[in-house]
Amino acid sequence: MGSRSQKINIVRLYTDEATESHFIEETLEAHEVNFAPPASPVYSTQPIATRQSMFLLLPDGYFGDFHPVPSRQIMTLVSGALEVTVSDGEVRHFVPGQTVLVEDTTGKGHSTRSIGGESVLTCVQL
């Protein structure tokens, strides 16, 4: 590996003090580590504590009106396409492989819609 660190970009969805939800781009620093010797080194961020993981399947045509998440989540889209609208009006589309740190546990929350004519599968870490 050439460089000893890399940047990983993620999206964070959060609630401000006025209870509005927003998206923000975050950059995580990943450092070269011997994660599973004798395999070659990889890049790793600092651990983020989670308690459990689960999969969520949203059927084609799913719409969840504005809601906060029940607990802080790291959501990775596995298949399908997802449209998320935050209470400040911004709309983003997510495709397989994208990860969102969802932290709007209070306030107005966000709405979620499956798009693209197929079900959406996500892996959620709580």
DSSP bridge pairs for 29: 7
Give residue 3's pLDDT: 66
107 neighbors 67 (Cβ within 8 angstroms): no
Euclidean distance between CA atoms 78 and 56, whole angstroms? 10
Q: In the chain, what are the domain boundaries?
A: 5-125
68-98 pLDDT, tens per residue? 999 999 999 999 999 999 999 999 999 999 9
pTM, rounded to two decimals: 0.88
Give residue 1's pLDDT: 46
The yes-or-no verdict on residue 2 having pLDDT over 90 is no
Euclidean distance between CA atoms 18 and 108, whole angstroms? 10
CATH architecture assigned to 5-125: Sandwich (2.60)
Q: Span 87-111, mean pLDDT?
A: 97
